[in-house]
Chains A and B, each alone.
Chain A
Amino acid sequence: EVQLLESGGGLVQPGGSLRLSCAASGFTFSTTVMSWVRQAPGQGLEWVSAISGSGYIHYADSVKGRVTVSRDNSKDTLFLQMNSLRVEDTAVYYCATVESGSYFDNWGQGALVTVSS
């Protein structure tokens, strides 16, 4: 069974930093494209970033330059380093597997990031 477990969320002040982790199990992590998707309170879904097994990376324009996605294939873990956080980055952040480089077929339960002074 595929399991994705996010951690590292919390309250941070504007301009601060936070690192999210996503521990994966139940599939071959090293060859799977992974992604982060976020959802602001009461709002829709927004794709944030994707990383292939070999480290090929894409970012949404809304986070480019402030966010770094990475992975540790030896530990089956995905990361999202977020810097210069803004109030509008407040959201639940989901990690997800990307099948065929195209659709999100497994999702974690989400980690809440709140940016507020």
Chain B
Amino acid sequence: DIQMTQSPSPLSASVGDRVTITCRASESISNSLNWYQQKPGKAPRLLIYGASSLQSGVPSRFSGGGSGTSFTLTINSLQPEDVATYYCQQSYGTPPFTFGPGTKVDIK
């Protein structure tokens, strides 16, 4: 099965900072990489699919990039409401769909 890792964790930054989370796959997954945001006590929310496509309704300060085995989620100008845990998830080929361990983001 494909394994996913994320870094850093946790991540602490100031309001207005540009924040980047990295996700790596144990083998090439092309652009089959998705990102989710989860706030405490809530269900996850899809942010980015296909490595770089922004889900409808998601603020444009969120962006995704990468392909193959290395991917990034960037938050331009971190806002207080962005405090959450962020997960990557690979969807290459048939299941199992694998999630990364998560990156907890908070405000300094």
Residues of A bordering B, CB below 8 Å: 35, 37, 44-47, 50, 58, 60-61, 94, 99-105, 107-110
Residue of A45, A60, A102 near B96 (CB, 8 A) is A60
Q: Within 8 Å CB of B95, what residues of A?
A: 47, 50, 58, 60
Contact A45 B55 (CB under 8 A): no
Interface residues of B (CB under 8 A from A): 1, 32, 34, 36, 38, 43-46, 49-50, 55, 87, 89, 91, 94-102
Q: Please give me the residue from chain B that is nearest to A106 by CB atom.
A: B46
CA distance A103 to B45 in the complex (A): 11
Inter-chain contact B36/A104, CB cutoff 8 Å: yes
Question: Closest CB-CB distance, B37 to chain A, in whole Å?
Answer: 11
Interfacial chain A residues near B99, Cβ < 8 Å: 44-47
A-B contact pairs, 19 of them (CB 8 A): A44-B87, A45-B36, A45-B99, A47-B89, A47-B96, A58-B94, A58-B95, A60-B95, A61-B1, A99-B49, A102-B34, A102-B49, A103-B46, A103-B49, A104-B46, A104-B89, A105-B55, A107-B45, A110-B43
Which chain A positions have C-beta within 8 A of B36?
A: 45, 104
B96 and A58 contacting across the interface, CB-CB below 8 Å: yes
Taken together as a complex, chains A and B put the C-alpha atoms of A99 and B1 apart, in Å, by: 21
Q: Which 8 A-B pairs have the closest CB atoms?
A: A58-B95, A102-B91, A107-B43, A103-B34, A47-B97, A45-B99, A103-B49, A44-B102
Q: In the complex the two chains form, what is the Cα distance from A101 to B38 in whole Å?
A: 21
How far does the alpha carbon of A94 sit from the alpha carbon of B36 in the complex, in Å? 14
The chain B residue sitting closest to A46, CB to CB, is B99
Cα of A105 to Cα of B46 in the assembled complex, Å: 6
Contact partners of B44 in chain A: CB under 8 A: 37, 45, 94, 104, 107
Chain B residue nearest in CB terms to A110: B43
Residues of B within 8 A of A50 (CB): 95, 97
Chain B residues near A105 (CB-CB < 8 A): 46, 49, 55
Closest CB in chain A relative to B106 CB, distance in Å? 16
